Amino acid sequence: MEIVSSFIQPFMYCIGTPVIRQFGYLKVKETVDKLINLAGHVDAKKKDIQNEIEAASRDGRQCTNEVVWWIEKVEGLGGKVTKVQSDYDQRGRCSPNCWSSYKIGRRASKLLTKMVHLDKERAGLDVLVTNIPPASVQQMSNVVVGDMITLNKEKVCRYLEEETDGVVGIWGMGGVGKTTLLEAINDNFLNDIGNSVTNKLFDHVMFIVVSKEHQPENIQKTIVKKLRLRWSEDFVSQAEIIHEYLKEKNFLLLLDDIWRVVQLKDIGIPYPRGGGSGRRFRRKVVFTTRSMEVCKGMNCRGRIIKVECLKEDEAWNLFVENVGEDMIDLPGIRSRAEGVARECGGLPLALVVIGRAMATKGSQEEWDYALTQLRKSQPNNIPGMEEDYSMFPRLKFSYDCLRSDKMRECFLCCSLWPEDFIIAKMDLIECWMGHGLIDNFEDINEAYDEGCSLIGSLIAASLLEPVQEMDSAIKVHDVIRDLALWIACDNRDKWLVKAGVGLKEVPSEMLAKWGAAERVSLMKNEISELPPHFPPCPNLSTLLLQENCRLTAIPGSLFACMPNLTYLDLSSITNLREIPKEICCSVQLRCLNLSYTNISSLPEELGQLINLKYLLLRHTDELRGEVKGIIGRLLKLEYLDLYPCGFAETDELLRLPLLKALGTKITSEHALRQLSRVPLLYLNIEDMGDSTTTSIHLHHLLLGSCTKLSLRELKLYRCCSMRELVVDVDVRLPRLESLMLDGLANLTEIVWRRSVVPPSECFGRLRDLRIWNCHGLKDITWVLHLPCLEELELLHCEEMEQVVAIGEEEREKVTEPTFPRLRQLRLYYLPKLAMICDNNHAAAVNFPSLKWLQVLACKELKRLPFHPQLLNNCSRLKTILGEREWWEGIEWEDQSGQSSLLQPYFKAMGDL
């Protein structure tokens, strides 16, 4: 029995306590009465605290976070107590049963336990109110300069007022004024207290400088300090404290100078959003960065503002403000100061830093020296600019933050071009390829795609700029180019750049430095003669002499002095007629560009350049000499461009085992088939077909898939028997940018098969279309929807009656914008051209990007498709160039209104 008892007792204890508790729930009246009494007592304490808080708020104080949390829990339980009381009262009107009494008693008992805990917590609230944290809005010192920054500030403020999710990104190059804009937004909440609409939107405005080497913990510390919150050494706990405080606050967080995506949630920032549509609180974040990629990563959802450089008059005003009016008004200073200000390129940082450096320079000689140094891209030589705040060390942050040494080197290469030069993307990418920065690729398209990706990354980092309405080119801001040269020349005289500065000869002081130089750029000058002798240049790897049109010869001594030369560009030296045989001394040469020269032959010694990978002979029309056997010896060639001449034999090209890209001329389908496995970038199909071949299928011409995927420029020339060009089902040329139809005298139609993809997909990247000497074509309506077409030129097409023939059926198909990017339309010697498009359907055709219309010898063209109501759709029009007699013969639908609207755009050819 004792054994049984010792077993039963603990068992009964384990099951007995919960069972007794369950029976206790049936004492419903007693439990509900206790709950209601205690709830009333706690609610009275809550009201006392709220009265105390209200009184404290009049003294500039507010309740603590703990009090807020306690009040919220009391209010939450209060609603549940009311529901239990209501259910208990309803029970009294119905037939009572044990199950309903049990459920109500159970709920009441649990609420009673929580209410007891709340009552005890109230006793532990030692501090009910504290001083209100400062609004975290501190007056910033920068002065807002220029209309654009004011407009940008207003735009941001509109975003802050919107009832939508709220992250706003502000980006731009270093020193352009992003911080000034953010500070102006900050000051908006200080200067307009009491009457600003935006001031009423936020309880807290926090301005935090993040900087390059930011750590999330540092942002947390700044927030805690500004809001006077409790500090925790644990990152996660600190995030919870920040989140708990801000989740029921209207706040604006201003983050200045972030270099990578900030994970707001990890820091404790509640999800940014607007305050409308039933949402109680408005949460907004505005940040500045130099990277467009950061804006994308921060989920701005289109709320992205790029800060541009100042206009010329605004830049001058900022420069004068930092130099001082008294200094500017000294004799001989103003004109020099204007030159210095122009060198700053509208960049506020440069204007401020250089302006301050010149504020004490009262002599003309000092200003002349400053201007000389700026033009030399050596601003740190100016006395007063040696301090740490000088602009280049600050701007260099963008360079340092590039993700790889390759990207940094790619950026520095951009400084080899002249100041303010528009650089074709293809030229830049081929420069990078020639320097080995883009290398070891299996597919030429992969190389170009990598180049475009690098360009995009440099644009996103504000180190390169896109060219408006020219997707195929980029530019470098003057000051950013100076920055690149400053970095590249960190080891003195390693890079010598005198590009586009008007040199007539190589300066002797520059020539003396060639011995230590690694890269020399003298491109785009007016040099007519190179020195007969050069110092030994053992380290020189890059020499750029292109576009020195007066230069007639390259001395052989140049190559003998440069044994390690790897990159040589002699392109566009139009008077150059021969290459010296001493070129064989540069046996390390990897890239040789002789394009657009008038060389008549290649030296036999060129075949000794066994390391040559890139040979560009584009548009060397005078090259008639014996070249057989030379190119076939260059076994490391990967890229050979002979377009449009193609003087090398097909058999010789097939002996190049590493060839990955080719530009050439082909005159037979047999040769085209032989080269089907070589990616053709530039292809001139000339004299193709015999007298019986009247229909040529583009699909048959471009047999190799490599060519279809790679082709960038296509020319069909003197295929005189061709009557129709058929675009077949499978033809897609995703990279074709230029198409020329020339000398197709009998071509009457370009046929699009019904099952074929539309022109917009077949020629999705076509930018330049030229149709010359195609006398059978009456219209080219198919060009209407080419999405990227920028230039269209028609020349000597005798039967052309209209550019676009839109009938009723075609008009119904016009559902997308027409000619969305067309910038230039050139119409020359079209004797039957009566209209650009049928005037009855002109409303269906717009030219939203057209800048230039040139008309010559089109005597039947009496009407233009620019009705007054359509001029808004041609708002970028700058010039209509033509003969005065033709212009005066134009027939206007609205003689007075239309003529007067278009007259300012007209320029007569004889007046130019």
> In the prediction, which pLDDT does 22 show?
43
The pLDDT of residue 94 is 44
For the record, the structure tokens of 506 come out as 């190589």
pLDDT for residue 97? 54
The CATH T-level fold of domain 393-477 is Arc Repressor Mutant, subunit A (1.10.10)
Please report the DSSP string for 195-262 in residue order. Answer: T-TGGGG-SEEEEEE--TT--HHHHHHHHHHHHTPPP-SSHHHHHHHHHHHHTTS-EEEEEES--S--
Please report how many Cα atoms fall inside a 13 Å half-sphere around the Cα of residue 285, on the Cβ side: 25
Distances (CA, A) of 872 to 601, 839, 853, 867: 54, 17, 16, 10
Other beta carbons less than 10 A from residue 158's beta carbon: 11
Residues in CB range of 336: below 8 A, 6 or more apart: 364, 367, 368, 371
Instruction: Sketch the domain layout of the chain as residue ranges.
Output: 12-131, 147-306, 312-389, 393-477, 491-576, 603-659
Q: In whole angstroms, give the CA distance from residue 861 to residue 835.
A: 6
Helix (H) or strand (E) holding 47: helix 28-57
814 burial class (0-12, 13-18, 19+ CB within 10 angstroms)?
Answer: middle
Pairing of strands 465-467, 470-475: antiparallel
Mean pLDDT by 10 residues, the chain (912 residues): 41 38 56 84 82 58 68 80 78 52 78 82 63 45 64 88 84 88 83 44 86 81 85 90 90 91 93 62 90 90 89 93 92 94 88 84 90 74 52 74 92 93 96 96 92 93 84 87 86 85 91 93 95 93 97 94 96 95 95 96 94 96 79 95 88 92 90 86 84 69 70 91 77 88 90 64 88 94 85 96 78 67 94 85 75 94 73 68 91 66 79 52
Q: Which two tokens stand for residue 759?
A: 């022109």
Rounded to whole angstroms, the Cα distance separating 365 from 370 reads 9
Among candidate residues 769, 774, 779, 872, the one with its CA nearest the CA of residue 822: 769
pLDDT at 60 (0 to 100): 42
* Spacing of C-alpha 373 from chain mean position: 31
What was the pLDDT predicted at 636? 96
3-state secondary structure of 837: strand
Q: How far apart are CA 310 and CA 176, in angstroms?
A: 8
State residue 393 phi and psi, 5-degree precision: -60, -35
User: What are the C-alpha distances in Å from 702 to residues 70, 733, 826?
Assistant: 77, 10, 29
Task: Give the CA count within 13 Å in the CB-facing half-sphere of 847.
Answer: 25
Task: Tell me the pairing of strands 304-306 and 639-641.
Answer: unpaired
- Contact criterion met (CB below 8 Å) for 541 and 518: yes
- Triad 684, 440, 434: Cα angle to 5°: 60
Confidence (pLDDT) at 58 = 42
- Collapsing DSSP states into helix, strand and coil, what is residue 440? coil
Query: Backbone phi, then psi, for 400, in 5-degree steps?
Result: -60, -30
CA distance 907 to 883: 8
The pLDDT of residue 193 is 39
* Cα–Cα nearest to 145, from 180, 118, 197: 180
Cβ contact 403:410 at 8 Å: no
Smallest CA-to-CA distance from 645 within 629, 630, 631, 624 is with: 624
- Which of the four CATH numbers 2.30.30, 1.20.272, 1.10.8, 3.40.1710 does domain 312-389 have? 1.10.8
- The answer to whether residues 605 and 584 touch, using CB atoms and an 8 Å cutoff, is yes
- Residue 347's identity, in one-letter code, is L
Distance of alpha carbon 41 from alpha carbon 662, whole angstroms: 90
Report pLDDT for 881.
Answer: 92
Hey, what CATH topology would domain 147-306 get?
Rossmann fold (3.40.50)
Query: CB atoms < 10 A from the CB of 615, how many?
Result: 23
**The amino acid at 860:** E
- At residue 810, the pLDDT reads 59
Q: What angle do CA 714, 778, 819 make, to 5 degrees?
A: 60
**Local structure of residue 34 (DSSP, 8 states):** H
Per-residue confidence (pLDDT) for residue 809, from 0 to 100: 58
Structure confidence at residue 619 (pLDDT): 94
- Backbone phi and psi for residue 878, each to the nearest 5 degrees, phi listed first: -115, -40
Q: What confidence score (pLDDT) does residue 813 get?
A: 56
In 3-state terms the chain splits into helix, strand, coil percentages (rounded to 5) of 40, 15, 45
Distance CA 880, CA 608 (A): 53
How would DSSP label each residue in 66-129?
HHHHHHHHHHHHHHHHHHHHHHHHHHHHS---HHHHHHHHHHHHHHHHHHHHHHHHHHT----E
